[in-house]
Amino acid sequence: MSLPDAEHLLVVLADQIRPRVGADTALVGLHTGGVWLAQRLHALLGLMQPAGSLDVSFYRDDYAKRGLARDTRSSSLPFEVEGRHLILVDDVLHTGRTVRAALNELFDYGRPLRVELAVLVDRGGRELPVAPTYCAATLDLPPGQRVKLAQDGDTLSLRLTGS
């Protein structure tokens, strides 16, 4: 199947977010694809606040089963979370478990005023009641198929991978 162009979707996503951006808005990218997206969106939207990043490995519900990820990175939120409008950014929304983990981690930093979710692609297959606030495209993929974001130089693209 042919996948939509990630660079185009990025522009669509930025257009969706732009009217809702305020002085207090900050982006938080989820490792790894979400961090690339958050950086690009940050430039496109000309935000004041630096973008943060979360690696939710320590909050995943499958930690006991799968063990710690080998390349867990430090989360970094270079702003006060308390009272802020935050937009979680991820490349692909699938089961919703990563978003659940991210929300849990976020609240250990403070109490944000509002948290929204921006994704490039919603591919269905939800296992938790999670819905995106901003979404550039929906894809209908069979359960075993995965799609993820790749970065080649400065260019983002979507790729299909096995299960």
Q: Does position 72 bind another protein by CB under 8 A?
A: yes
Q: Which of 104, 133, 145, 151 binds another protein (CB under 8 A)?
A: 104
Site for another protein in 74-93 (CB under 8 A): 74-76, 81
Number of H helices, E strands in the chain: 4, 7
Task: Give the HSE-up count for residue 123: Cα atoms under 13 Å, Cβ half-sphere.
Answer: 21
DSSP string, 100-137: HHHHHHHHTT---SEEEEEEEEE----SSS---SEEEE
Size of the site for another protein (CB under 8 A): 21
Q: For the CB of residue 134, give the shortest distance to another protein in the complex, in Å.
A: 27
**Alpha-carbon torsion angle 33, 34, 37, 42, nearest 10:** -150
Half-sphere exposure (Cβ direction) of 143: Cα atoms closer than 13 Å: 3
The single residue among 14, 92, 109, 135 that binds another protein, judged by CB under 8 A, is 109
With beta carbons less than 8 A apart as the criterion, state whether 109 and 78 touch: no
- Smallest distance from another protein to CB 70, Å: 7
Site string for another protein, 124-163 (x = CB under 8 A): ----------------------------------------
Position 58 contacts another protein (CB under 8 A)? yes
Binding site for another protein (CB under 8 A): 55, 58-59, 63-64, 66-68, 70-76, 81, 104, 107-110
